[in-house]
Structure 1
Amino acid sequence: MQYNRAPIWARLYCLVHYWNPCAGEISPMTTSIILRAFGSSLPQHRAVRALIMEEYQRAFPQCALRMVLASRRVREAEGLADMNTVCQELKSLGTERVVVQHLLLLAGQMRAEAEGETLAVPLQHAAPLLADAADIQWLAAQIHLQCREGCPNLVVVHGNTTNPQYNHTHLQLQEILVRSNAAIRFASLEGEPGPGPMHAIRPAAQAAGCAHIIPVFLFPGGHVQEDLLGSQADSWASQLGVPCTASPTLLEQEAVRARFIARTRQALAAEADVSGS
């Protein structure tokens, strides 16, 4: 597969800003980490969850580690505990400190709801993947490296129609990408900018005989596997009417998983500093 040579700024940005996590002192036995994601029962989603848990266990062997899914339907289907039950269990084990790492692209509706919960133990919420302008630049550089040469490249995010205030982060990402690479178009399943750019690139995709989809989703769940890449007539790949390739989702990429681990390590270190002061 041939990919575009990314702009020099993108390659340099990835090199310089590949986060070097600083280790903080973590109190053994009393510190826990909860990874929180929305959830899907698709095997691809479950495989990525297992990979993340394995890497977190290696990174934080001194911490109790749990994963909680926000989707009640998925929890019930897989027999998984909810957030309240997990917190009660950790408290019974002697946990005094809990850092919640939301496996989210940005601090949107799901995190806002989580921060309003009152649970058995106090929670500290670590930053999502995109917390500031530098993070958006970092992700833009990563996306540039995935662009495919010789066909239209369609970057897709979820978007939010109900709470449009949460769209500003990916709109900033859109501005950076489209301004710096004429081969990129940016679309969303809902909210702004919507699916219009996907329809707009169809003539170019059919002229090239291919299209490349870059899903800015954390997991390979239903939106990616079915809405974007599915074989049904209303999937985006089917609507484009040409063979489509796709980049891996974010958490299938080692650099993104490493960045989340760095986020968690930073939150643990910050909490340790506060406790020791």
Structure 2
Amino acid sequence: MKKALLVVSFGTSVSRARREIEAVEQALAAQAPDRAFFRAYTSPTIRRLLAQRGEQIFDLNSALENLAVQGYEDVAVAVTHLLYGIEYDKIKEQTAAFSKRFSCLRLGPPLLADSGSLCALARCLLQEPLAPGEGLVWMGHGTEHFANMVYPALQTALRLAGGRHAYVGTVEGWPSLEDVLTKLQSDGCSRVLLAPLMLVAGDHAQNDMAGSDPESWKSRLEEAGISVRCRMEGLGALVSVQDLYAAHLQKLLQPEEDNGV
């Protein structure tokens, strides 16, 4: 039986950030050495930008169709997305539409799939080295989907894991930068390391987080009198996070009887 591993990411058009996706892809491929590796990006904009540079990357539907045509029968779909949000809902729907095209088609969870993975990520994030008296601010994307509740839950997990001066905010959800700033000021935190709570340090990290624009997080924190240094690597660069993705895939690939099915 021909077996495949399809790794699905949102994607990035930032060349340097691409290696953070590839690091996770490599960790996942190493977890499934008996499967042929394939990738797909869900962002139409990123696929279009890459196509303009001469690189063609499948969307999910095209990738699954390609695997079916090539005669793959057992396909494991692993996602690098963080949440059970809008993007994951689309992936789930598209994958389900191909269920009759394969003998076995399995879809894995996002990184933050349950309380265990949430607490595990919190421990990973707290490994970031800090200067004495420095706070740690993680900037997430945020979503209007109910899955946005993962961000305040992660904030709680960081506190319970000992991150007294670790903070989580989002660009498009809650908590916001204003919420984080209020807490920084009440805690008397005047120096922070600002890092992207995203798979890659792509456009959001370069512009919304660390950009020179007055509305960037770095600029607004500095305007409030807080000294800022930026970590310009996404979560995909952390070996401990790569291990979390690999653990999800390992569980997905267990025989059905081992999963209680």
Q: Does the 8 Å contact 1:198/1:236 carry over to 2?
A: no
Could you tell me which of 32, 36, 39 is aligned with 1:60? 32
CA gap of 1:95–1:132, structure 2 versus 1, over 3 A, is same
TM-score normalised per structure 1: 0.77
Give the residue type in structure 1 aligned to 2:250: R
Q: Does the 8 Å contact 2:140/2:170 carry over to 1?
A: yes
C-alpha displacement of 1:103: 0.4
CA gap of 1:203–1:263, structure 2 versus 1, over 3 A, is closer
Could you tell me which of 156, 159, 173 is aligned with 2:139? 156
C-alpha displacement of 1:272: 8.4
Query: Alpha-carbon deviations, 1:77-131, whole Å to 9, x = none?
Result: 2222222221122112221111111102122221111111213546311122122
CA gap of 1:220–1:245, structure 2 versus 1, over 3 A, is closer
Residue 162 (structure 2) pairs with residue 170 (structure 1): no
Residue 100 (structure 2) pairs with residue 134 (structure 1): no
Residue in structure 1 matched with residue 196 of structure 2 by the alignment: 215
CA gap of 1:192–1:53, structure 2 versus 1, over 3 A, is closer
Q: SS of the counterpart of 1:269?
A: coil
C-alpha displacement of 1:141: 1.5
Report the Cα distance in structure 2 between the residues aligned to 1:84 and 1:72, rounded to whole angstroms: 12
Could you tell me which of 232, 237, 250 is aligned with 2:213? 232
Give the residue type in structure 1 aligned to 2:196: P
C-alpha displacement of 1:201: 6.1
Structure 2, unaligned runs of 5 or more:
51-55
Is 95-104 or 265-274 further displaced after alignment? 265-274
Could you tell me which of 111, 127, 136 is aligned with 2:88? 111
Q: SS of the counterpart of 1:244?
A: strand
| Aligned residue runs from structure 1 range 115-126, under 5 A | 115-117=92-94, 118-119=97-98, 120-121=101-102, 123-126=105-108
Report the Cα distance in structure 1 between the residues aligned to 2:27 and 2:117, rounded to whole angstroms: 22
C-alpha displacement of 1:150: 1.8
Q: SS of the counterpart of 1:145?
A: coil
Residue 70 (structure 2) pairs with residue 93 (structure 1): yes
Query: Alpha-carbon deviations, 1:182-234, whole Å to 9, x = none?
Result: 322331112211121343367689984x4211322112221122211123332
Residue in structure 2 matched with residue 264 of structure 1 by the alignment: 249
C-alpha displacement of 1:58: 3.6
Q: SS of the counterpart of 2:126?
A: helix
Q: SS of the counterpart of 1:213?
A: strand
Report the Cα distance in structure 2 between the residues aligned to 1:272 and 1:84, rounded to whole angstroms: 29
Query: Alpha-carbon deviations, 1:211-267, whole Å to 9, x = none?
Result: 211322112221122211123332111222234132742111011112212211221
Aligned residue pairs: how many? 244
TM-score normalised per structure 2: 0.82
Q: Does the 8 Å contact 1:211/1:244 carry over to 2?
A: yes
CA gap of 1:181–1:46, structure 2 versus 1, over 3 A, is closer
